[in-house]
Structure 1
C-alpha cells in the first residue's frame, strides 16, 4: 500500500455498511435537471469492441444537466424515473485500488460497456494512475468525499472540505475535468449538504439496487443476488464497490448474465464538469507533492529499456 493511502481508511471501507431508509431531496428545482439522450441505442459493433463480436456495450448515453443538484436513485431521491425496463446503470464506490478496480475495469472494457466510479479522494491520491486509466477508458468519475466520512454528522465547513478536497484530488489524478456527480458515504445527507451541492450544481446519487457486496461472500453468490434483485425490480441504478475482491471477481460473470438476461447498460454523463475551487486545489497540491499531474502515453518500450541481462 502506498504511503499516501491510510490502511485504516481502506480497512474501514471494506466493511462499511450503507445507511438504509428513504427520504426525498429537499428544495431541488425539478426544472433544473434534464436527462437528455446523447447517444443512439444498440450495443457497439464488433469493430468498436476488439475481440468481442457480441459485447454488452452501452445501449444509450444520457447527459445530465446538474443545475440545482438533481437527485438520482429511488432509495432516496424519488424524482427522475428516466430508465426504461431492463436498463441498468453500473456504479462503483470507494476506489481505486490495484487488482480490484483494475480487474473491474478490464471486465468492463472487454464488454465495451461503461460505469460511474465514485472515488474517495484519499484512496485516489495513492493510486492516481489507476483513476487516470478509468477516465481514459471513458467511464464517468464522481466524488465520494476525501475520507469517507458521514457528512450528515459534520459541521457544514468540515463537510464542504470533505467534498471539495475529493473533487480537487480526483481532478489532479486524471489531469482533467471530471463529472459534477457526488454520492454521500453511507448514503446519508443533511439539508445543509444538499443545499451546498445545489449551490455548486452537483448531481447527487443514491441507488435503486444495493448489491450489499460489502457484506462479503463469494463472487457466485453476489452475481446471483444482483440478478435476483434486478429481475424483481426490472431496472435501476446498481450500487457496488470497486474495493471489494469478490466484486472484482464477479464482474466478468455479472456482465455475461446481464447480457444473457436482456439487460441494457445506460451510461450517465454530466453536461458540465465539476469546477474545482482554487483554494482546495492549492491545499491538495501542497498535501500531494509527489502525486503526478501529467501521465505519459508513451509506449512502455520507449520508457523502459533493458541495458544488461535478458
Structure 2
C-alpha cells in the first residue's frame, strides 16, 4: 500500500470563544503547515458549546490527505506519528444508535469538543436523522462497513469484502445526503492485507487506535473510564477507540472528558482534505433498495387533512 500522504494542520482553536486564534507552528517532518487559517465554519468545527471557559475544547485541527490510504493508530500503523504529547483523538464506532449517540453528542457539546464517528452502513439507514445530527454538530463522519462483518473471515470472498466497504460508504452518504470523509475502520480491527491494499487504491485512510476502551466488554461506565486512562496515562497520547453504540460509553463519556481536561490532555480534530468518491453502482443500489425509508415529495396538505377539530 502506498503511504504517500500529507497532513495539514491549523493552529489552536477555542470553540468556546467568538473568535478563532491561529498560530503557525513549525511542522514536523511529513506535515505541511496550512497556507492560511481556515474559518471555524468552513473547517467543520461547529460543535455546540455552552461557553464554559473550563471546557475541554479542541486544541488543533489537522487536515488529512488520504491519497494512498494512510494508516493511523499505533496498534497497527506506526509511520505517521503526528500527535504531540498529551494530544488525543476521540473516535466512536458502530452508530448511529437511538439514545446512546445523542447522549455522546451532548457530552461532547458540553465540553465544546469533537470526534470521528465510524458509522455502520445499516445503522445509518436505520437512523439517518441521528447521523445527520452528528455531522451538523461538526464531527467528522467515516464508515465501519455495511454490516460490521469481520473482513478477515475466510468465508467471505474478495468481492464480498469490497461490497462491505463500498456499500457502507454509500449508505453513510445516503444518510448524510452528502459524501462522508474517506476514513475507515475495520470491524474488530481485523486488517486483511488485500483489503488494506484496496483501501490504498481507493485513497481511503485506515484507522486503528492507540487506546482501546474495551467498552463492548465493560459492564459499568466506570470500567470504561478506568480502561481508557490505564493505557492513556502510560502512552501519553493517542487515538482513543470507543463505541457510541454502547450505553456504558455514553454514560462514561462526561467523566472521560472531565479527566482528560484535568489531566492536561488536548483534543485534536481530524478532517479529510476531500470527501470520499463513492462508487455509482453502490449509490444506485441504495436508492433502489425498497427497505430504506423514503421521503414523500407531496405537499403536507395533500397527505394530512384536518377532518375534525
What range is the shorter-chain TM-score in? 0.7 to 0.9
Aligned to 1:33: 5
- The offset of 1:110, in angstroms, is 1.4
Other structure's SS at 1:238 match: strand
1:152-231 correspondence runs (5 A): 152-153=152-153, 154-231=156-233
Aligned to 2:59: 59
- The offset of 1:289, in angstroms, is 5.6
For 1:45 and 1:263, locate their aligned partners in 2 and report how far apart those are by CA, in whole Å: 17
For 2:112 and 2:176, locate their aligned partners in 1 and report how far apart those are by CA, in whole Å: 21
> Structure 1 regions of 5+ residues with no counterpart?
1-26, 295-303
8 Å contact 2:16–2:51 — kept in the other structure?
no
1:165–1:46 CA distance, 2 compared to 1 (3 A): same
1:43 aligns with 2:22: no
- The offset of 1:128, in angstroms, is 0.5
For 2:213 and 2:94, locate their aligned partners in 1 and report how far apart those are by CA, in whole Å: 14
1:1-310 correspondence runs (5 A): 27-29=1-3, 32-37=4-9, 39-47=10-18, 49-153=49-153, 154-287=156-289, 290-291=292-293
- The offset of 1:288, in angstroms, is 5.0
> Structure 2 regions of 5+ residues with no counterpart?
20-48, 297-303
Other structure's SS at 1:214 match: coil
For 1:68 and 1:111, locate their aligned partners in 2 and report how far apart those are by CA, in whole Å: 34
For 1:210 and 1:267, locate their aligned partners in 2 and report how far apart those are by CA, in whole Å: 18
8 Å contact 1:104–1:242 — kept in the other structure?
yes
Q: What do residues 212-238 of structure 1 show as CA deviations (whole Å, max 9, x unaligned)? A: 111022112221221221111100000
For 2:120 and 2:235, locate their aligned partners in 1 and report how far apart those are by CA, in whole Å: 29
Q: What do residues 3-45 of structure 1 show as CA deviations (whole Å, max 9, x unaligned)? A: xxxxxxxxxxxxxxxxxxxxxxxx333xx211211x3215333
The TM-score, its normalising length taken from structure 2, stands at: 0.83
- The offset of 1:53, in angstroms, is 2.8
1:293–1:233 CA distance, 2 compared to 1 (3 A): farther
8 Å contact 1:128–1:291 — kept in the other structure?
no
1:292–1:41 CA distance, 2 compared to 1 (3 A): farther
Give the RMSD, CA atoms, in angstroms. Answer: 2.3
1:127–1:59 CA distance, 2 compared to 1 (3 A): same
- The offset of 1:272, in angstroms, is 1.1
Deviates more, 1:122-131 or 1:44-53: 44-53
Deviates more, 1:64-73 or 1:50-59: 50-59
The TM-score, its normalising length taken from structure 1, stands at: 0.83
8 Å contact 1:96–1:127 — kept in the other structure?
yes
Other structure's SS at 2:282 match: helix
- The offset of 1:47, in angstroms, is 4.0
8 Å contact 1:175–1:293 — kept in the other structure?
no
Other structure's SS at 2:152 match: helix
For 1:204 and 1:293, locate their aligned partners in 2 and report how far apart those are by CA, in whole Å: 33
8 Å contact 1:172–1:293 — kept in the other structure?
no
